[in-house]
Amino acid sequence: MPRSAPTAAGAPASPLPDAAEAPITIPGVPSADELLAALRAYLPDGDHEIVRRAYYFAARSHDGQVRKSGEPYFAHPVDVAFLLTRLRLDTASICAGLLHDVVEDTTVAVSEIERRFSPEIAHIVDGVTKLN
């Protein structure tokens, strides 16, 4: 489970990212901030931080993976996430869009997605990976 930041008395703890969820920029791929801007346009009160964490976790998980074309592999999950924002889906769905290939193409297990994000997101990711 992610560590929590110290808080004022009675305030809920907020998770601190570990190295796997730290910011990363991938040339040629829209940034987390661009994705969050699209999400905020229709879901201003959504859990934007979990989407940011999912973006960075997926980006780091796919770090160094490229398609035969030379395009970063992570471009596909980001494209999926933008498509889901155009469909105006919730934050769990956006996170699952970002994370759907992590389980298939890296050593990350569905149980880690559940631990880091939520059972709901893990369930969506697991279901999507079975659609092949």
> Is residue 36 within 8 Å of residue 48, measured between CB atoms?
yes
Pick the catalytic residue: 105, 114, 120, 126? Answer: 105
Q: Is 104 a catalytic residue?
A: yes
> Which has the closest alpha carbon to 81: 108, 67, 102?
102
Q: Classify residue 15 by burial, with Cβ atoms within 10 Å: 0-12, 13-18, 19+.
A: middle
Q: How far apart are CA 89 and CA 125, in angstroms?
A: 15
Pick the catalytic residue: 33, 34, 79, 104? Answer: 104
List active site positions. 104-105
